Structure 1
């Protein structure tokens, strides 16, 4: 209760512009996260024609892999993250150079929402691929500009972690509860349209797509009416902004290192997403258990983001980063070892703590070292890294699980060790008054 009380107090005290951005991002995240649950069910339902693809073989790095339904699901889920993450450095840099954030946010939300609505017309697998790709580009337009605004709204470094804690809390609420709402909407369909004066009915799938579209456009309205660009962005318009890889006093730039480490963290979180059927069989559990275990990481983050963000403003960024990656390694590995639903839930909760310890402090550290007007390109390295990891995770587990259930999680744990070593050797404290 203490953490929840502290979080509530911190949210109440936060910059209202940050809260508006966070609310808008929450609404958008609810709509977009619908698809994490809905698209796999939609593909498996037979409403999308995939029969011609199943059983064929594709070549990857000199080897051929049979196309299976889990692989098709993994590709669709991962495509969003790949296009989103790989495009973010370019969209972040463009928003820095133009000195504008709001137009990028609005354009991205509009693209996300429109694509969500068009899923009702998708009856072929390639249509899902095109629409998911469009949503990836929409997210790439939105995310760097939004986090740049959150960073620029901080009056001083001592407020930066708290701002990102508030922002991430709302975003994760949307991401965490979106799949739950999606499951309810799909399960209770079809819906009689007579209640709104129309003939016919709407299937559970189509209702979820319409709800995702509506959520995105509600987010659009909030941003359009209540969010404005900052003077800091405008002053730096036209500046030549580039991503730094080499460090000034060490081998690698600390933000670049955190970007790579965030890739590893994203992979570790997302390995679980593709393995619903395998996890349920292995643990002899009902599907509701998997939904709870999947949401555990997000729920833990919702509770801890604000307290961790405020604490890293007081005690420094680096201690939280180190503690987070130390916890990430065993909490990932043990997901491939535990044999009961309860143990899996505990391990996923611990992984959620690890992510919470890394998220806000890493964004705050990047904001500390970002030069004036470079927030978009600097912070996009971290958002890109996380998105890329989230995209790579389902695809990685979909391929590696055929070698043994523990293999994907062992690979994820190894990546966590590499990330920890990089942070220890390449990232130093940036908060000048850390104690």
Structure 2
């Protein structure tokens, strides 16, 4: 029995290869997330020449998130129907590489928006497949740990990506940054192509039986993830504004952006293990509750050091929410149609990535600097209440699946 339990706690080595491959791609994603809001200041708009820079930053980030969110449910259902994951991952990485190169050749704002839309579609097509592969490399008793490890690796890449983006932009320019992103995407593609095999769905009938409570819980979790990402991404519309208000350099702003991800990736695996042991819902509620005052504080920072501290606290909040939400969604799916089920969560995450900068850009550009932070905090309080009343955790699910391997 002890040996069986020990085997059940082991993770498939391919999980680590997949996680490392995503580290390189999301390092490039982090670089782009930092560079593009600053790069579009140098572009001109054909249709709206007088558009404020803060609105341009919000739009260009929003377009990527919207098309990312749009493509995920479609690709998730198609992935489940074909019972294939790897082709979707390769397609997404190829699209990321191509768009990263093309940024170097566009100087019109609308062209940047078009490229972000294309990149959003291709990258979004890969997300449900990747999450499904991660769950296939784990069991219900190790799911939180597996998702934590994967999320930590890709999040670490994203976090230092912002810092690398600041260094590259300062000393080498935007073109070098875009080509670097393409190279990192190529590394990721080669690792997946040659070292990660295909995976297939497993049906966990017992878990499905325990959690046959309808789709409302998925919607509640998706809404919570959406609001969390709005609170995280809202500051990207304000990077040019923070640069002026705080009299900070591009490098110091990149450190503030990176502080969130460094904190998050440091804590995601421990949070995943805690969710395996003590339950998912409790950690989700703690993260939502703590993020309310943190988001409000972002509207009143007077020094870049304060911004760095608040972003680090947001990393703690996100670690407490993201990993348990993903693990709980897979538990509720019961191992069946994982890509389609999880896509409701990941597409909501992408939509939050999109609407966060848009909310910040529109309210900050046309109402007041602090208004978007108040709106976001209020929405987060609503999501907290929704999770409390609508989500019921499957307490027995973590003890059912003892098969440690998937092929």
Deviations 1:291-333 (A, max 9, x none): 2222221111111011111111111111101111111111111
Q: Distance in 2 between matches of 1:107 and 1:276?
A: 31
Q: Distance in 1 between matches of 2:302 and 2:37?
A: 25
Question: Bigger shift: 223-232 or 325-334?
Answer: 223-232
Match of 1:314 among 277, 285, 299: 277
1:159-178 correspondence runs (5 A): 159-178=142-161
Q: SS at the partner of 2:160?
A: helix
1:26 Cα deviation from its structure 2 partner? 1.1
Question: Bigger shift: 407-416 or 292-301?
Answer: 292-301
Contact 2:11 2:137 in 1 (8 A): no
TM-score under structure 1 normalisation? Answer: 0.83
Q: SS at the partner of 1:157?
A: coil
1:121 Cα deviation from its structure 2 partner? 2.1
Q: Distance in 2 between matches of 1:285 and 1:43?
A: 19
State the match for 2:174 in structure 1: 205
Match of 1:293 among 209, 234, 256: 256
Match of 1:97 among 81, 86, 104: 81
Give unpaired runs (5+ residues) of structure 2. Answer: 1-8, 205-210, 400-407
Matched, 1:354 2:317: yes
State the match for 1:74 in structure 2: 58
TM-score under structure 2 normalisation? Answer: 0.89
Larger RCO (CA under 8 A, 6+ residues apart): 2
Deviations 1:143-176 (A, max 9, x none): 110001101111x211000000000001111111
Distance change >3 Å, CA 286–CA 185, structure 1 → 2 = closer
Contact 1:263 1:389 in 2 (8 A): yes
Match of 1:132 among 116, 121, 125: 116
Contact 1:99 1:373 in 2 (8 A): no
Contact 1:368 1:431 in 2 (8 A): no
Contact 1:169 1:306 in 2 (8 A): yes
1:103 Cα deviation from its structure 2 partner? 0.5
Q: Distance in 2 between matches of 1:104 and 1:52?
A: 35
Q: Distance in 2 between matches of 1:346 and 1:127?
A: 36
Contact 1:54 1:69 in 2 (8 A): no
1:209 Cα deviation from its structure 2 partner? 1.5
Matched, 1:218 2:187: yes
1:405 Cα deviation from its structure 2 partner? 1.8
Q: Distance in 2 between matches of 1:28 and 1:52?
A: 33
1:370-409 correspondence runs (5 A): 370-401=333-364, 402-409=366-373
Q: CA RMSD in A?
A: 2.2
Contact 1:14 1:166 in 2 (8 A): no
Question: Bigger shift: 368-377 or 356-365?
Answer: 368-377
State the match for 2:49 in structure 1: 54
Q: Distance in 2 between matches of 1:331 and 1:96?
A: 38
State the match for 1:110 in structure 2: 94
Contact 1:317 1:430 in 2 (8 A): no
State the match for 2:308 in structure 1: 345
